[in-house]
Structures are given as C-alpha cells and as structure tokens.
Amino acid sequence: MGKKFLKNYAIVILGASGNLTQLKLIPALGRMFDRKEIDESSVIIGSGRTQLNDLLFRNKFSNVSDKFKSILYYHRGISGMKEFINTKGDYQRIIFFFALPPSVYASTARELSGEGMQKKCSIIIEKPFGCSYDSAHRLNSELNKYFDDSQIYRIDHYLAKEAVQNILVFRFANYLFSQVWNNKYIESIQISAYEKIGIEGRGAYFDKAGIIRDMVQNHLVQLICLLTMDAPVNLTAEELKIQKKGILKVLRAADCSKYQYEGYTEEKGVSCNSKTETYAELKLFIDNLRWSGVPIHIRTGKCLDRKGTEIGVKFKAFPKVLYNKHGEIPSNKIIFKIQPAQGIIVALASKTPGSDNQITSTNMSFCYRDSFDSEIMEAYERLLFDALKGDKALFVSAEETELSWKVFDHIFKKTDIQYYKKGTVPKSCFCKKWIEFEKYASVCS
C-alpha cells in the first residue's frame, strides 16, 4: 500500500477532544500519512466544544510527526464548518467521523445537513448502533433523513482485523476446507472473547449496555456471519451484505446465562443494585440446511483470567474403525486466533514416532508473526483508508444492525444473574465445552 492513493481529502473528526481521537484516530491517520496513503493535499480537521486554535490542537498529539501536524486544523462546533473547509481548499471528498456518543448521532447529522454538507460527504459512526431493534431502526431512519445509506459507514473494528479477514480466505481459497464446512462434518462452533480488564471508567455506558450489547450483538455476530455464510459471488460490499443477511435472518439465540463480577456495583457510574451482566454464555443455532443442528457456543466477559479472542471449530468424531476402534482419537479442530496473537491452528491425529500405531494429537500452526515481516495495519487505519476510498466491504449495513438486534431482543429481558470472582471464569457446563480448546490459547502468543 505504499502508493499515494488518497489526495485532496478533508477528514473532519467530530468530538476531537475525546480519547478515541487521542488514542486511535490521529495516530492511525499519522501512520497513513507517513506511508503516503494521504498527503499534504488533504486536511484533518478536529471539531469539538472546547475552545482551541490550530496550534493548541496540534500540540495535543506527541505521537505523530511534525509534517503530519502541519495538515491538522481545529474548528469549534459545526456551525460555519462548510465555510471553514472551503477556506482550506476544494476537496474531492469530505469525511465526517462521529467520535461522539451515539445519542447525538441523529442530531449531529441534522446539523451537518443544515450546514449544507450532504453533497460529496460521508459520515462514519461507531457502535453501538442503537440498543435494541426498535432503537436501531429509529436511528437508521433518522440518519437517512439527511444522508443516503451509501454515505453512511458503520464501523465494527473487528472486521478490519487481519485474522478476521483471513477467515473468508481460509474458507473460500482452500478447497481442502470448503467442502467440509457444514453440519455433515462439523459438530460445534465455539467463540470466546475474554478480557482481563474491567469496565475501565466506562461505568455509565456499560451499565446500560452489558457485555451482550457491547460484544456479542456486534463483534461476535459478525464473526459468526463470516464463519458460516455461503460463498459470495464476488467480494463487493453489496454481495457480502447479502450473504451475511442470509445468516442473520436464521440465527437464533436458544439459551443464555448471565454473570456479574463481584464488586461491579461499586464501580463508578454503576447502579448499586445493577443486574447488568459482565460475563455471558450463549448458545445459538443457524436454522438453515447447511448448519441446522450445529450449536454455536459464545462466552465473553470482563475481569477474567486472561485476554484473548478465539474461534474453535470442532469436527465430528472419527468412526470407530481402524486406528479409532476404541473411540479414543480426539476430534479434529480448527482454531482461529483473533487477538492478541493472530493465527490459525489445525489439530490433527498422527502416529507417535517409534510406537506401535499409538496415535497422538499434533498441531499445524500458522502464526502471523512468523509468516509475515510486514507490519500489520491497525484496524482503524484499514477502516479509515477504506472509507476514504469509498469501499464499504468491511463496514456494517443498516439491515445487518437491525437483523442482529432482532436475534437478541428476547435475551435482554432475562434478568437472572450469577456472580464470579475477578480473575476467574465462571464454572458452568458451557465452559466445559471450551476446555479442549483452552490449551491452544498460548499458541502463537
């Protein structure tokens, strides 16, 4: 990607005083600038309620080059934004990144429309896209009053992770696996997304959301779609959306257990009698011909014993013949490691050297760090780059967000809660199903 692809763009960050801008957006844009993916013909404009000038805004960022800082500007609020941009140049495209609370997305879109910013403009919004089917539908309808859906980019940063993108390559570029990717051969699918940290000062937001809204309904459902959807005709955003929608329409949440870590209600911003889940286990099914009867087990939460996101695909047991007459050979497994280490592991049976047909389990491992010398693009770099190009393949459509909320609306009504100690994983029947995958957590790390 060393070519100067993107010239003469205006990128406006609304909510430029927040942590997202400081920790993710400006550093990502700075690295893109250093790689010549955007250049001096473009401008980055921060906007917020704080009274700043260009110099004070530039000095907020110590982790970018001085040359990049020269294209940073600041404008307070949205009023007068169009005129301000026009004083900097005539740009072929203007992108507005909403680094703002979701509650003000619709009103901000209305303000931009009032400024005459509909033409040549796109907007990027972060999850959560609503908190239920009704609220998501309402938000999409409000945004569409001011911007066409082709102008709206809904970010799910999981989709930009290299290991996530590689799921489709693994499935549809390797004939070896594509033919066995169905309920005839696969017994179950397991997804774990563990965090060691707690809510980290986000109590006011998290207590209204919970881990299912924060992680499952968006990030992990997108993983399910990529893992189970039919092959697209091509790799355009429209075709990928069609195939993901096909899964979301028949995805069913069959069971759910909710947990809360001890001491959660003492966190800042959390209600003292909160029943919000910080850990959840769910069982889902896809009710179509390819996947009928294959359970998808999800477990995700905060304050657990480790950090890591993995997908485990377990194949059905080998018949009790030949080497497996006693049914002792472990089932084949494929593990996709999403973060923090990235890689793919295939667990196979092989003969122990020197033995009399003694079978053992061995691994074939592909670790990104060992296979590629080049730097892996950070998720926000890839998403910003694609948004500037107008490529929506790694973004979520309005229909996907609404269909995904429908899957879980009945789950949110369940209020039973169990408790667990910080630094542990709740002991449950769900967890037992993951034990056979746990030993692969350290591979590629």
219, 297, 326, 410: the catalytic one is: 219
Spatial separation of the C-alpha atoms in residues 188 and 176, rounded to whole Å: 19
Spatial separation of the C-alpha atoms in residues 82 and 79, rounded to whole Å: 8
Spatial separation of the C-alpha atoms in residues 195 and 176, rounded to whole Å: 33
Q: Are 301 and 288 in contact (CB under 8 A)?
A: no
Q: Which two tokens stand for residue 395?
A: 């973004």
Spatial separation of the C-alpha atoms in residues 302 and 421, rounded to whole Å: 11
CA atoms lying within 13 Å on the CB side of residue 81: 28
Q: Give 154's strand partners.
A: 125, 396
Q: For residue 28, what are the contacts with CB-CB under 8 A and spacing of at least 6? A: 378, 380, 381, 384
Sheet of 9-14: strands edge to edge?
Answer: 72-76, 43-48, 9-14, 93-98, 121-126, 152-155, 395-396
Q: Which two tokens stand for residue 15?
A: 């909510």
Q: Which two tokens stand for residue 444?
A: 């590629």
Spatial separation of the C-alpha atoms in residues 16 and 97, rounded to whole Å: 9
Q: Are 313 and 281 in contact (CB under 8 A)?
A: no
Spatial separation of the C-alpha atoms in residues 198 and 169, rounded to whole Å: 34
CA angle 369, 24, 190 (to 5 degrees): 55
Q: Give 126's strand partners.
A: 155
Spatial separation of the C-alpha atoms in residues 173 and 14, rounded to whole Å: 40
Is there a catalytic annotation at residue 157? Answer: no
Q: Which two tokens stand for residue 98?
A: 């909403």
Spatial separation of the C-alpha atoms in residues 275 and 180, rounded to whole Å: 42
Q: Which residues are catalytic?
A: 219
